[in-house]
């Protein structure tokens, strides 16, 4: 039986750039950092982390983190200003809206907002 999801992480090539991206765009609180090997953020109920290639299980494939926000338009503006590449917008009616983008390292991330 699964106890809980401990963390979701992305493998990144430039730890400083990636930490700056997640700190500036989402205002995430950095919980722990081990130099250029690992950075872990407080993501609410689950930790969101960044890993160096050496610490990662594999550079192939990857996770997708969906982050819930209150104001989709505000985050789209932040993402655009940060140079994120928006790759999809989806309106799910009463269920909410999803915006998919690539972060500073090319990983796919989603922002979700309830309608």
Domain count, the chain: 1
For the stretch 9-63, pLDDT in tens is: 888 989 999 999 999 999 999 999 999 999 999 988 888 999 888 877 655 557 8
Domain that holds residue 70: 7-113
What is the C-alpha separation between 5 and 26, in angstroms, rounded?
A: 20
* pLDDT one-digit tens code per residue, 98-107: 898 989 888 8
In a domain, 98, yes or no: yes
1 falls within a domain: no
44/26 Cα distance (integer angstroms): 12
pTM above the 0.85 mark? Answer: no
4/88 Cα distance (integer angstroms): 29
Are residues 37 and 51 in contact, defined by beta-carbon separation less than 8 angstroms? yes
């Amino acid at each position: 039986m699964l106890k809980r999801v401990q963390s979701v992480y992305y493998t990144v090539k430039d730890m400083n750039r990636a930490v700056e991206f997640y700190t500036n765009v989402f205002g995430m609180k950095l919980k722990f950092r081990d130099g250029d090997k690992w950075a872990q953020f407080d993501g609410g109920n689950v930790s969101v982390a960044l890993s160096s290639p050496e610490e990662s299980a594999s550079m192939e494939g990857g996770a997708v983190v969906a982050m819930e926000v209150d104001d989709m338009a505000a985050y789209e503006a932040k993402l655009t200003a940060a140079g994120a590449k928006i790759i999809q917008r989806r309106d799910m009616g009463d269920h909410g809206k999803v915006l998919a983008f690539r972060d500073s390292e090319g990983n796919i991330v989603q922002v979700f907002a309830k309608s």
